Every structure is written in C-alpha cells, then in structure tokens.
Amino acid sequence: MTDTEFYRGRRVMITGGLGFIGSNLAHRLVQLGADVLLVDSLIPDYGGNLFNISGIESRVRVNVADVRQASTMNYLVRDREVIFNLAGQVSHIDSMKDPHTDLDINCRSQLTLLEACRHHNPGAKVVYASTRQIYGRPDALPVTERHLVRPTDVNGINKAAGEYYHLVYNNVFGVRACALRLTNVYGPRQLLRHNRQGFIGWFIRLVLENREIEVFGDGSQIRDFVYVDDAVEAFVAAGASEAVNGEAFNVGGDEHIAHRDLVAMLVELAGQGSYKFIEWPAEKKAIDIGSFYADSSLFMARTGWAPSVPLREGFTRTLSYYRAHLPHYVDQGSV
C-alpha cells in the first residue's frame, strides 16, 4: 500500500501539531488526504505557532489543549487511527532550571496519552518523537540503537522514560507504538525566538539578521542533521508500518558536519552574518555530549525510508523560507 492509499481519509492526530515538526507533518498529511486533528497547547516559547499551518488552516482541525490534561486527551484520542505524539518541552536548559515541569510534560503526559489510548482507543497506532539526547555522550560513532541510554540532562531522562512507556504499552497492552530517536532536525517552521531549544534555529536567525554567531570551543563537535521534510517522511512511514511496533529507531541524516563547517556554510549560503569562537559557557558544557551522529540503518531497512535532502539544499530552502516569513518567527506578537 502506498502512503497515499494508507493515509487517504485516515483519522490522524498530531500532538504538538502547531510546532516545528508537527506542523510540517500536518502539511504532508493534508497532502496525502488524511483527516488531520492538531492538538497543541500554544504555550509561549515552546514552539507552537499558528502561522505554521498557513495555507492548510481550512483543511485541518485545531484543538488547543494541553497533553497534561487527562480528560481532554481521553476525549480527543477516541476516533483517531494514527497518533503522532510530538508534544514536548524541548529545552535542555529549561529542564535543568525547572525539572518538575519538564517531567510533567515529557514524562507524565506520555503516560496520560497512552492511558487514554489503552482505555478509550486501544486500536490506535502511536508514533512517538524521541531524541538522540537520550544517548548522552557517545562511547563510539556512529551511534546505533544498541548504545546505552545515558542522558546528560533531565530533559533527556524524561524523553527516555516517555519512549519506554510507548514500548511497554505496545508490548503489554497492545497499543501499537514505536519511537523515532531524531537527531538534529532543521528546516522551515522552527522556533527562532530564543536560543533555548538548540542551536540550529538560533544560528539561522543570527545569519538572517546579519549578526555574529558564537561557536563554542573550537567548533569541532560533529552532528548529523536531518531536514524536516525527511523527518516528516520518517513519521509518515512509521505511522503506516506494522513492522516498527514496539521498537525505537534512530532517525538521522546521512551527512555529518562539524559546527564550524556548518556555520561557515550557513554564512556562505546566506551571503551575510559572521561567526567567532568563544569559550564554552559552564551551564552548556555541563550537559554537552561532544560529537554525535547516528546510524539510522535499522529504520531504513525496516521501512525503506532514507533521507533525501542534502545539507546544502536543505539549508538553502530553510534560509529562503525564513527570509520570506521571518517576522512570524521572531516577533513576540506573531503567535
């Protein structure tokens, strides 16, 4: 069955549906003909942005709600066939300042959603957005799913617990679920308003505002990046596949690059901005994990998915998007 056949008329739900990946996924699912329900809390600074569904407003249903609210989730999951579970608090720094809130959103809410499915819609399929952050500092590269889970911050711990819940609910209660451990996702519709949700969006904003990027240390730390359209295709594939249930998969890019080279490429592609090297801030260094890139071959083998957008192409598209829409991602009043 093709994705179009699978998703046409399919009742799907995306938690965090107005956020970065969630909204890009919404665009794709609308294109595939799905019946799309977006659930988002629109908590300021978390990434939800109504502009993200510009162009598909009339073809999706938006329900503003917080995934922490059990009775709401019990209701909303009822008729949904595939649930893309992307709602989260994604700032590592915030998680260390206010660990209880991170726990409520990334840990407790996952149980709430899964309990909602268990008791009100056990036939639902759930695809959970996990993160490479759960691995912590890698023992060796590339990192496979056999690598120990060893988070370096509270956010990583809670994301790991959220992921484990999904696998246990699959194995014990038959709520089909899997987890995608995303590496660094970049592209249109990402929050650029502050720098607490990772560096990539922030770097893009700085070059577009012709400002100077500060690269920590010598910038030699390596990451792999996955363009958001490729990440979206991974969710689409996982949602339609029965071969992924009960497992967690790396989903990363097939190119990896040092921070300094990435920044140089951004400045070159933008034709503006600059960068300098600075010493590591202590609070960032304490939770840094050095170089990281993932081996995504397990997910590729299982689903046929593969990243298709090269780095230069992805960043060219990204810069072009934000050039056209920057105020919607920078101004406080845009949400």
Q: Which residues bind a second copy (CB under 8 A)?
A: 96, 99-100, 103, 107-108, 111-112, 115, 146, 148-154, 156-158, 160-161, 164-165, 168, 171-172, 286-287
The angle subtended at Cα 160 by Cα 171 and Cα 152, nearest 5°, is 155
Cβ contact 129:193 at 8 Å: no
Query: In the β-sheet with 177-182, what is the strand arrangement from edge to edge?
Result: 60-64, 35-40, 11-15, 82-85, 125-131, 177-182, 248-251
Give which of 305, 286, 187 is closest to 235, Cα–Cα: 305
259 Cβ contact partners less than 8 Å away, ≥ 6 residues apart:
199, 215, 216, 219, 220, 221, 222, 223
CB nearer to a second copy: give 153 or 224: 153
Rounded CA separation 90/20 (Å)? 11
CB nearer to a second copy: give 91 or 318: 91
Q: DSSP H helical segments within 222-258, as ranges?
A: 228-240
Cβ contact 82:124 at 8 Å: yes
CB nearer to a second copy: give 61 or 100: 100
CB 106, min distance to a second copy, A: 10
Rounded CA separation 314/316 (Å)? 5
CB 99, min distance to a second copy, A: 5
CB nearer to a second copy: give 165 or 322: 165
CB nearer to a second copy: give 75 or 173: 173
CB 203, min distance to a second copy, A: 24
Rounded CA separation 137/121 (Å)? 38
CB 149, min distance to a second copy, A: 5
CB 289, min distance to a second copy, A: 12
Q: What is the largest CA-CA distance in the chain?
A: 54
CB nearer to a second copy: give 164 or 277: 164
Cβ contact 154:96 at 8 Å: yes
CB 292, min distance to a second copy, A: 17
CB 251, min distance to a second copy, A: 19
CB nearer to a second copy: give 31 or 171: 171
Tokens of 298: 């397990």
CB nearer to a second copy: give 54 or 280: 280
Tokens of 7: 């998703």
CB 174, min distance to a second copy, A: 10
Tokens of 78: 């009822």
Give which of 89, 77, 164 is closest to 113, Cα–Cα: 77
